[in-house]
Homo-oligomer: A and B are copies of this chain.
Amino acid sequence: MSRPTIAGVARAAGVSVASVSRVLNGLPATEEMAERVQRAVAELGYVPDARARSLKVGRTFQLTLAVADVGNPVYVTMMRAVEEVVSAAGYRLVVTTTGPDVVDEVALVRGMARGYADGLLISPIRVDEDLVKSIRECEVPVVVAGSVPAKAGVDTVRANSPKGMLLAVDHLVARGRNRIAFVNGPADTVPGAARAKGFAEALKAHNLQPVAVVEADDFTFAAGRAAAPALLAAGGPDSSRSRRLGATGPAPTSQARGGAGQSAVPAPSTSDPQGRAGSRSSASDPQGRAMGGGFDAVICANDLLAVGVMHELAAVGLEVPRDVAVVGMDDSELAEQSFPPLTSVNLGSAERGRRAAELLLARIEDNDRTPRRIVVQPSLSIRRSTP
């Protein structure tokens, strides 16, 4: 009736529990012994209990991957890579969602002491002293996919956002776009800060001034849409369209986080075919290129934001890439699925996932190795959202 234990198998096979365990774990045993045990196991349908096993051997053969938002397609890329490495090594993967708050992450890291996983792979969106402290003190090996101070003393695998930004700007400039705006996620996040810095540097390298910098409330589609009015308003003096938009709602202020985020999902502007055709021509310069918002290109801190922004650009009659080129970051599946397909900076999420998983496994084997800090180089996936 109830699940057979190793003792039951031993009894059925007429041997000791130790022998059963040995046969099951592939330790040397005589033919006959192995045979008898196998038969008893098969007959009773015995399956060893993972709970008891992990208590004894001190391992659960589970690894935890903590992501901030399961809805962000960049994590599916990363998850796939991690899962592959981890399951090849005989571990199960536990995926946890932490949300955007750092306190959740601290609680998670602290909770690892309970020993329900042998290692933790975390990709924190925000980092503070508490988190660093909890990571340093964590009972089980931790690998961070992202940036964390060296003093945390853990292996890290991070992207090179500045280089990625440079690729994006290089590309835009090469295609003749130099009035570039930037839609960032929250600047108080690790990726937000890195991308803001990268954007500034990349523009400087080309001797350009940013046309607009808008900070969305979050790295989500909804936040991307919500940030669009501020983006359009901040576009500069020749942004006739953004002023029109401003008339329908509160005038958004540029650079102001509150401006983009007053409502998580603002009533999106709906486009009517009439207005669409009209505004398109009225905002085009003599060469037929639109001067919408004063910018002719927008870089977004991730693909979700980019797609959100593209929706709103379309809503005010701007065509991508003709009027505005759009570049995303992460090169997630969404970039390929979006319409038009999104040119996106590949920050190596798959490789980061893979290497982070490998580091974690290596550290589980040997906790004394000195922490490595790997940086994965970006590349650019050019699609149709840029000319």
Residue positions of A touching B, CB distance < 8 A: 3, 47-52, 54-55, 58, 60, 62, 70-71, 73, 76, 79-80, 83, 92-97, 110-111, 113-116, 139, 221, 304, 307-308, 310-311, 314, 333-334, 336-339, 341
A267 CB to nearest B CB, Å: 14
A125 CB to nearest B CB, Å: 17
Question: Which residue of chain B is the closest to A310 with respect to CB atoms?
Answer: B339
- Let me know if B307 and A115 touch, CB within 8 A: no
Question: Which residue of chain B is the closest to A224 with respect to CB atoms?
Answer: B337
A51 and B60 CA atoms in complex are apart in Å by 8
Q: What are 9 pairs between A and B in contact, CB < 8 Å?
A: A3-B115, A3-B139, A49-B114, A70-B76, A93-B95, A93-B96, A94-B94, A310-B339, A337-B338
| Seed contacts A50-B115, A92-B96, A307-B339; 8 additional CB < 8 Å A-B pairs | A49-B115, A51-B51, A51-B55, A51-B60, A51-B116, A60-B116, A93-B95, A337-B338
Question: Which residue of chain B is the closest to A94 with respect to CB atoms?
Answer: B94
Most chain B CB within 10 A, of A52, A95, A314, is at A95
From B79, B221, B311, contact of A70 by CB (8 A): B79
**Residues in B whose Cβ lies below 8 Å from that of A79:** 70
Q: Is the interface of A mostly helix, strand, loop or mixed?
A: helix
A80 CB to nearest B CB, Å: 7
**Residues in B whose Cβ lies below 8 Å from that of A110:** 47
A360 CB to nearest B CB, Å: 17
From B3, B116, B311, B339, contact of A113 by CB (8 A): B3
Question: Which residue of chain B is the closest to A221 with respect to CB atoms?
Answer: B337
A12 and B101 CA atoms in complex are apart in Å by 35
**Residues in B whose Cβ lies below 8 Å from that of A311:** 337, 339, 341
A263 and B60 CA atoms in complex are apart in Å by 41
A182 CB to nearest B CB, Å: 21
Question: Which residue of chain B is the closest to A80 with respect to CB atoms?
Answer: B70
**Residues in B whose Cβ lies below 8 Å from that of A49:** 55, 114-115
- Let me know if B336 and A221 touch, CB within 8 A: yes
Question: Which residue of chain B is the closest to A111 with respect to CB atoms?
Answer: B47
**Residues in B whose Cβ lies below 8 Å from that of A52:** 55
**Residues in B whose Cβ lies below 8 Å from that of A337:** 221, 304, 307-308, 311, 334, 338
A65 CB to nearest B CB, Å: 9
**Residues in B whose Cβ lies below 8 Å from that of A50:** 114-116
From B51, B97, B139, contact of A83 by CB (8 A): B97
